[in-house]
């Protein structure tokens, strides 16, 4: 369903309310998020863009529960992350979120299949379910035929597809991606963008992606443009 800036989603997957975050270095305190509020719905790829240092990654990490804001709160799947203790945040992240990073974050010693299976083992799924989910996610990312290779034997694009399969196999409601195409050439960047968009569409996942990559803008359903810790522009492109 297309989003509109004027229509309020009755069930937003992620809500940021008046987020403020500052970092202090020596005597200098810099406000990185400045009373930022936003609501993000399901089944769409939302892109956070904006100049270097404007607070994109900080926002992503607060929305995903990796960091806490100084003020304000995050409602993720209608639950306040700020009302949870550290253990509950960790469990929430394990069961409901997936992450894709610029640098892939794969374990050098594990095969592609083992990388995908590892979080499923932490989730304490049955062996049968782990096998099923790993098979499906690797196949969906076009990596079934490379599943027995370790990262050193994979190209950058293949590594990122394994990282996406690892996130996808968890069947997360929320998928966060921080500069997922920055380390890739144009062709592989395009493949990764298409896959992220397809996950949002086909699985109803809320995909939130931070990127400078102008190629990603045309693929996003919604683009939030940040500047100086605030959202300057919120452009809704509707479903595509």
Under the rule (CB under 6 A), what is the footprint of ligand ATP?
23, 32, 50, 52-58
Q: How many other β-carbons are positioned within 10 Å of the β-carbon of residue 99?
A: 22
CB of 77 to ligand ATP, least distance (A): 23
- For residue 178, the Cα-to-chain-centroid distance in whole angstroms is 7
210 phi and psi angles, rounded to 5 deg: -95, 130
Residue 42 or 216 having the CB closest to ligand ATP: 216
Residue 115 or 225 having the CB closest to ligand ATP: 225
CB of 178 to ligand ATP, least distance (A): 8
DSSP 47: E
Residue 56 or 159 having the CB closest to ligand ATP: 56
Parallel, antiparallel or unpaired: strands 71-76 and 79-80: antiparallel
Residue 23 or 122 having the CB closest to ligand ATP: 23
CB of 217 to ligand ATP, least distance (A): 14
Tokens of 108: 């050098």
Question: Could you tell me which residues come within 8 angstroms of residue 143 by beta carbon, excluding any fewer than 6 positions away?
Answer: 112, 158, 161, 162, 165
CB of 156 to ligand ATP, least distance (A): 19
């Amino acid at each position: 369903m297309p989003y509109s800036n004027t229509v309020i989603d009755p069930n937003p997957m992620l809500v940021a309310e008046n987020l403020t975050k500052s970092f202090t270095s020596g005597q200098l305190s810099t406000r990185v998020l400045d009373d930022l509020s936003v609501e993000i719905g399901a089944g769409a790829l939302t892109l956070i863009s904006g100049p270097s240092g404007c607070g994109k990654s900080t926002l992503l990490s607060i929305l995903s529960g990796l960091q806490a804001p100084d003020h304000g709160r995050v409602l993720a799947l209608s639950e306040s992350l700020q009302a949870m203790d550290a253990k509950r945040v960790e469990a929430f992240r394990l069961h409901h979120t997936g992450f894709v990073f610029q640098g892939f974050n794969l374990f050098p010693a594990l095969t592609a299949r083992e990388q995908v299976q590892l979080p499923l083992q932490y989730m304490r799924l049955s062996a049968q379910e782990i096998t099923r989910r790993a098979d499906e996610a690797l196949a969906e990312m076009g990596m079934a035929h490379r599943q027995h290779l370790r990262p050193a034997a994979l190209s950058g694009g293949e590594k990122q597809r394994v990282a996406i399969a690892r996130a996808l196999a968890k069947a997360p409601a929320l998928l966060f991606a921080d500069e997922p195409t920055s380390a890739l050439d144009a062709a592989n960047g395009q493949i990764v963008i298409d896959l992220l968009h397809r996950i949002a569409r086909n699985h109803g996942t809320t995909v939130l992606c931070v990127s400078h990559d102008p190629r990603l803008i045309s693929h996003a359903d919604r683009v939030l443009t940040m500047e100086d810790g605030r959202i300057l522009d919120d452009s809704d492109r509707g479903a595509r």
